[in-house]
Amino acid sequence: FYKEQNYLLHPCPKPIIFDCRSRPRNVPVITGSKDLQNVNITLRILFRPVSTQLPRIFTSIGEDYDERVLPSITTEVLKAVVARFDAGELITQRELVSRQVSEDLTERASTFGLILDDVSLTHLTFGKEFTEAVEMKQVAQQEAERARFVVEKAEQQKQAAIISAEGDSQAALLIANSLMEAGDGLVELRKLEAAEDIAFHLNTYFLQFHRGI
């Protein structure tokens, strides 16, 4: 005699497959600079899970761990880093900003069992008011450079005219000094040269006239 027994069999659990290869993800963030300018930043992140921590990632976060973690910690880190710089410094020190974001974000992601192979700052723009102010400043700088060029050119022309006038004055002074040193002899020499020139032309005229007769 056998007594009938019922057994509850647990079905085989569905396998959960995680991709442990490095994958890219772009995360856009809007935050504020030290001087209260709106900053639009996009980070490109190459990430992958630590394979030994997959059970913890699955149970504490879920299969969509990247959707839950990356936007949150990226916003957190960017807000903290960008707030240390004013708008101008974000432009001139962009490499430093990118490196600081990468270091802080990599450290933060490790607490969730994620490895960041690369973090790149791919997009950095500012609000409309700041952009217009920068454009106006650039136009003003260009106008100032143009005005400075005109002034420098006028100054160069003025200096050239002064040098030319000084040269003419010195030449006239040298001639006057030469005349004073030569005295009447130079004057007489010029008279003789003029007389010889007149005589030459008269002789030429008489010779032509004689041949014509």
Q: What is the pLDDT of residues 127-160, one digit of tens each?
A: 877 766 666 666 666 777 777 777 778 778 777 7
Domain membership flag for residue 139: yes
Domain membership flag for residue 165: yes
CA 92 centroid distance within chain: 8
More confident residue, 190 or 73: 73
Residues 45 and 132 in one domain: no
Structure tokens given for 124:
């950095």
Residues 67 and 96 in one domain: yes
pLDDT score of 1 = 46
Residues 82 and 30 in one domain: yes
Residues 50 and 121 in one domain: yes
Question: Which of 126, 149, 172 finishes a domain?
Answer: 126
pTM (predicted TM-score): 0.58
CATH of the domain at 36: 3.30.479.30
Strand 38-49 to strand 114-126: parallel, antiparallel, or no bridges (unpaired)? antiparallel
Give whole-number Cα distances, 24 to 6, 46, 69, 72, in Å.
Answer: 51, 4, 14, 16
Q: What are phi and psi of 117, to 5 degrees?
A: -80, -25
The lowest-confidence range among 60-64, 66-70, 117-121 is 60-64
Structure tokens given for 106:
């990599």
Domain hosting 143: range is: 128-183
Q: What are phi and psi of 29, to 5 degrees?
A: -140, 140
| Rounded distance between C-alpha atoms, residue 91 and residue 89, angstroms | 5
Q: Is 102 within 8 Å of 45 (Cβ atoms)? A: no
pLDDT cut 90: percent of the chain above it: 40
